[in-house]
Chain A
């Protein structure tokens, strides 16, 4: 490589956002945005071509002096854990633009600019190799998503946006104090240096620090009982906002556990292990039951995320290899599937302008392609063998059984409930008699929308049939993570 890949892909979208704001023409905005995101995707190619799967170190490392007086450098780098998320973030943003092409009609320039700033934050977060930079990108995500929800969202958008902002900010300010406390004790914020210096943190300090970081991560994941911002935010956000929220933002919290809590605070993890497992299982089962009774399509998918993210945290805190690998795989899977489901809902909403399940029915009669794709994604979300979620859930549940049998049993119950609400949703929306209010509407997807969904469908099938493609990135770093002392 002759260019700093990570810095380029992080700041290319930001440059695109600046260009869009300065260009001054609404018609050009979406083309500029598409070009910027596609360019980002293209420029990131060397990451996948030259990545060394056998190494657990950070790769494509960049380091420059940034704040010498505080001993904080500008550091970027990826390992097998963060790389898939960068791919997901770059891909989903492209699809978001495809989904917003005709859906966003007001203040177009600002919309695409906000979306691109959010992309910078997402990529930067996963590429950061020190805690300070991680925090900066974590917070940078706040305002664009706040605007995406609040400006272009549904009827309850302002409430949802403010709730989102206050919840996330409350968590992240505690992370700020935690970060400062770590900095004060260890004198550095570089992840690698911290892993070596972590023994200077006493067990009780680690417990407090874990709690401080938990506040930030648990809000983002979200874990019970801090999930209440999620249904509002996901439901009211425009399609692109929901995709970003469900696809990437929720993963930021879980990624935080993997990047900060597990490697740096092993004593804290041990202390909080039991509660974490219990909360995760509770989220799986409670989330699934709440999902069952939803009458609003978007709200239903939003609540299903609570349940699905429960699997992720369950997998992480089983602290064994297959559990953690399954959790990461499941994060990517959920990113693909929930994004696809939100896209599907958004596409049909554009035609019908209703999100109530009872207003649908018999969609398959006029929209066979749409119905087929929706079936694929619903089955994938339900964990059908051969599609991507199956592998992740299988790995997680397997290691949950090894940790505590009842955890596994409850998780299986969650899967069963998941199948129920997804199939039932599909049944009510797509099958049966055509709802009279839908007659005469042109429900079938156009080619732009098919092109938007196609990559996700391909990924769902490929990762289902050959999960090793993704898992091969995870083996070495996860083994290294667990061997570094956090596993019992």
Chain B
């Protein structure tokens, strides 16, 4: 099989015309990532604040008001007074409040008598993601309240000095934006090729292309190159947004990041191509692209849900997702400034995945040629 550059270029040129002729696709594939990154870069915040708290104060003394005030002043909670314990529970039931504080009638009496003054806290367990931060706030509020209300200030046993490396202020955006870029580009690049090529199968123009002397590998290369350039351009735009709008540091090397991005994009583009070769119909191709692209990229790539915490099977299963590997390259390039030696595993896997996708696409193409 001879690989002729001219033929690849000719096919690529046709594909470029195709993209340029359809400004909607062109605009969308550049604008969508930028839009998504800006909107969700601002929206996603993991530091839980302003939790609505229903307070039922049955004591209504100076001390109980001090306690409520401690909650309100912490910035973590917004205090709302309710008239009965039942209405406190009711407001959690109807999602108006996330937590409830119930102060019994003997709170001040117990406190002054030197007994343990107990209050009840009810948390809404239907949203796990807020329970853990609320529990940690409660521990610190309990300490503050003890100091304020009862002069309780025991000597510290442990002084844990924590240094957060690479993201000293725990800025959610530094974490979210480099990951968001990966997720949106994964979805977009699968769709770009899955659809255009499936369309050609439906039109019959792919059959025509196969009857020309062009080899399957040439056809595939010709189809991949223009979309790789297009999606790489989208990555560049998103990078600019991350610098200008979010001021996220980029500590790594552009070469490593660019090479990783190219491999990652090629893998997904080839995956889209493979889907279209396999299904040969747009609507099945779309469903498959959605299934293998959208949800896994959002949920299994390590974007938010940590891969390390998954059951063993999934820690291996997610290895077939290119997004997982570029997620590592992207985050480490931005924040850690890792070099290619640190990142050899993601690179090696991406190369293998990319080669596999192209190999299967070419092979499937070939078998389709035979009657």
The yes or no verdict on A and B being binding partners is no
Q: Which residues of B contact A (CB under 8 A)?
A: none
